Structure 1
Amino acid sequence: MRSIRNLVVFELLVILLLLLVYVTTALPQQEQVGPFGGLVFLHRGDTSAFPENSIAAMRAASVAGAQAIEIDVMLSQDNVPMVIHDPSLERTTNGRGKVKNFTALELQAFNLVNTSRGQPTEWRIPKLETVMQEAINLGLILEIELKTEIHNHYLVAQKIAALFERFNFYQQGFISSFDPRLLYYVRSLNPKINTSLALKAHPPYSSFTQYVLQQPFTAKYLGVSMIEPDHLLANERFINFWLEQKLLLNIWVVNSEKLKKVLLQPNVSITTDCLIGSC
């Protein structure tokens, strides 16, 4: 009987400790969310004729009338945020190997490949700071996704926080990630940055982890302004639930014109591979 009572006391103490940690370490939600609702984000820029995540794809997206684009960030060996989707070079460049094993200068020696056409180009992997400056020049809003394969979470958060401050980018971009640690670090370092928690319909982690990530207390703890679900998750109930939590949504990747019209609303953005027509 005493052992049961001791176990109950122990579990209560653990719960109280967890509550204390939650209360004392939770981040405040960004009050000024910015102009990130009701937008159509072009996925990695206009990739119909140019390499994904390239300056050329950004410029083509702007010419096509895009208001916003989504880009991806990895970290180089010398800890420079680089705009590239994959952790390795093979699919999108003429190089071979892991991004994290090359310096920024070495990465920029490789040529980007137009993956939709299978052709090499003269465009190179851009630094994030170059892309942010280009977004300012073009008047584009950026969703900056920090990839889960990034090898130094806190350091990349420091780099991101500094870049947002340097460019005063708070109303022109936000950070998204499937990794809540990256979002927590970014906002703890610079609470003026808006962040978005990305969710997969079929994640590689446990159902319990998925459950925790989809609870309002997680979003509140991280201080995120947005939830970014796979379109397979984004039914009417899901959307209404998160809108009731006073959060924006950005649903990916939506390529059906019919679905675009259904989903797009003032507090719901979508990410698509093409601006007009089904891809």
Structure 2
Amino acid sequence: MSDTSATLKRRLPRIGGAGFVWLGIYAAILLGWAGVVIMSRGLPGADLPAEIWESLCAAAAEADLGALFLMWALMVLAMMLPTAVPAFRTYDDLRQAGAGTTAGFVALVTGYGLVWLIGAGAGAVAQWALSRAGLLSPLGQSLSPWLTSGLLIVAGGYQFTRFKDACLSKCRMPMTFFMERWKPGARAALRMGVDLGIVCFGCCWALMLLAFVGGTMALWWMGLATLFMTFEKLPGLGRFLTRPAGIVLICAAPLPFVV
């Protein structure tokens, strides 16, 4: 190796194992958003119709749960991974301080993802059941004002519950969350990832139900919901969003009957 090559090798930044974990996280987020955008709008220059979303939702009435699960899994990647980035960053900081390992980081993210894949399965089953009952359009949007109003009331009312507050408090203070559960090893990190996923699910499940109001295929709803759920978990800004959002949702509940 020449002196020049050796000097360049020393100066160029090296991506460690945790760096590849972060690349994987952001790649999964991009994959999720790319998948839902392509499915909803089609692929430029390719014969992939935008109606593929409708075919996926139409599959709900035909009991094609596999297609629905794929759709919900992409939604979960796109919407929920960004909300967990502050917690992942906190664990990575602890890892760099010597408290954790790269294997633990991978296990943490895996545990979190497993919980939300189960959540994606629950969403797929719910959409299948509602579609078979004739309550959803081919785009996954409620056809019943009673269902729409009920979802708005549930999501709005949940914003005021102690369970929501308890879950949000853990999401907003990830360092405290990890310190309360910390044990060495990848298995313990996997368990913390599962716990983090459960807490996150506790924060967001009711808001995710609003997919059946805005339409599971609506990119505008997915974007707004992702931003809101991300901001709501921030310790400063989030405290000013939770209850006002609940008031807005409850006040909107009568609108399906008059619009």
> TM-score over 0.5 for the alignment?
no
Scaled by the length of structure 1, the TM-score of the pair is 0.25
Structure whose residues are more often helix by fraction: 2
Structure whose residues are more often strand by fraction: 1
Scaled by the length of structure 2, the TM-score of the pair is 0.26
| Bigger relative contact order (CA 8 A; separation at least 6) | 2
